[in-house]
Amino acid sequence: MKLVVCVNHVPDTETKVNVNEDGKKIHPVGVNWMLNPFDEYAIEEALRLKEKNGGEVIALTLGGDAHKETLRKSLAMGVDKAMLLKDDTLRDSFAIGKALADAIKDMSADMILFGKQSIDYYDEQIPGIVGELLGIPSVSTIVKMEIADGKVHCEREIEGGHETVETSLPVVISAQKGLNEPRYPSLKGIMGAKSKPIEEKIPAAFPLKVETLAMHKPIASRVKKIIGTDDTAVPELIRLLHEEAKVI
């Protein structure tokens, strides 16, 4: 199988967010970056499919040179090849999806795997955009996948349950936590990743459809009332929830 995994490079989950001078983006100072956590599930799934069916796994990312770190991590986990669509300009999901789809369309991939969402902008759009641009189905937020007799069955999380989607290859999927348990890179993998080549391409420019006007830090105004230290505080808690907060 030819498997393409799209990976993103994002601020780590502990990052303190400050707004940049332009008032529109995160201030980059003091930010540590990491492979988008959901993309690890996508990489793991691709590696397992290759281990079972043979083939090749290609990791693909769009971004600046810093994204190479995420490609190295993907290589260390075991992907065969890495490609950087080198672009430092501001892009929205549509524009990223367009560049990814352009790069993937001539790869004759059987499956293109994504994380469910980037934990920077929480957009959850790129997998569907790439699927539609390539003219193939996309199944989002999957927690289970089986391929047999030319059919693909994916279980996806929905509100209050799961649904099973039937589709066929080639297909786009996006991985939700629970799909698998991602492996840790081995020492050998990490060493090997350092010397593997990263192919670079320059994607075509694409206009922005969604424009950020401003970024704000929310002002949390919480009551912060400690009511007591044991179950004797409960009547007062319930009273406050009923009469003051009016939520029950």
Partner 1 sequence: MKILVFTEQREGKFKRTAYEAISAGKKLATELNAELIALAIGNNLDAQVNEFGAYGISRVIVVADARLQMYSTTAYAKIIAEVAEKENAQIIFLSASQMGKDLAPRIAVKLDAGCASDCIALSVENGDIVATRPVYAGKATINVKINSAIKIFTLRPNVFTAKTTDAVTPTIEKFPVALTDADFASKVIHISVATGRPDVTEATIVISGGRGMKAPENFQLIEALADTLGAGVGASRAVVDAGWRSHDEQVGQTGKTVSPSVYIACGISGAVQHLAGMSGSKCIVAINKDKDAPIFQIADYGIVGDALTVLPAMVVEVKKLLGK
Ligand X SMILES: Nc1ncnc2c1ncn2[C@@H]1O[C@H](COP(=O)(O)O)[C@@H](O)[C@H]1O
Ligand Y SMILES: Cc1cc2nc3c(=O)[nH]c(=O)nc-3n(C[C@H](O)[C@H](O)[C@H](O)COP(=O)(O)OP(=O)(O)OC[C@H]3O[C@@H](n4cnc5c(N)ncnc54)[C@H](O)[C@@H]3O)c2cc1C
| Interacting residues with partner 1 between 72 and 91 (CB under 8 A) | none
User: By CB under 6 A, is residue 74 in contact with ligand X?
Assistant: no
Q: Counting contacts by CB under 8 A, is residue 169 touching partner 1? A: no
Task: Select from 30, 31, 29, 36 the least CA-distant residue to 62.
Answer: 36
> With respect to ligand X, which residue has the nearer C-beta, 149 or 177?
177
CB 13 to ligand Y: min, Å: 5
Among 1, 107, 143, 190, binds partner 1 (CB under 8 A): 143
> d(Cα 226, Cα 233) in Å, to the nearest integer?
9
Binds 62: which of ligand X, ligand Y, partner 1, none (CB < 5-8 Å by kind)? ligand X
**Cα 183 vs. chain centroid, distance in angstroms?**
17
**Residues in CB range of 123: below 8 A, 6 or more apart:** 93, 117
What distance in Å separates the CA atoms of residue 184 and residue 174, rounded to the nearest whole number? 20
If one asks whether residue 139 binds partner 1 (CB under 8 A), the answer comes out as: yes
DSSP 244: I
Q: Is 123 an interacting residue with respect to ligand X (CB under 6 A)?
A: yes
Do the Cβ atoms of 175 and 41 come closer than 8 Å? yes
**Judged by CB under 6 A, does residue 13 bind ligand Y?**
yes
Q: Which of 66, 90, 205, 208 binds partner 1 (CB under 8 A)?
A: 208
Q: Which stretches within 54-166 are classed as H helix? A: 68-77, 93-104, 126-134
Which residue, 138 or 174, is less far from ligand Y as judged by CB? 174
Helices 37-53 and 68-77: crossing angle, nearest 10°?
Answer: 40
Which residue, 38 or 114, is less far from ligand Y as judged by CB? 38
Minimum distance from CB of 207 to ligand Y (Å)?
A: 33
Q: Does 41 bind ligand X (CB under 6 A)?
A: no
| Burial group, residue 195, by CB count within 10 angstroms (0-12, 13-18, 19+) | exposed
Q: In whole angstroms, how close is the CB of 41 to ligand X at the nearest point?
A: 9
CA angle 33, 38, 41 (to 5 degrees): 120
User: Hey, which residues between 181 and 210 contact ligand Y (CB under 6 A)?
Assistant: none
Q: Under the criterion CB under 8 A, does residue 28 sit at the interface with partner 1?
A: no
Q: Which of 37, 128, 189, 192 is the binder for ligand Y (CB under 6 A)?
A: 37
Would you count residue 124 as binding ligand X (CB under 6 A)? yes
Q: Check residue 14 for interaction with partner 1 (CB under 8 A).
A: yes
- Distance between CA atoms of residues 153 and 166, nearest Å: 5
Binding site for ligand Y (CB under 6 A): 13, 37
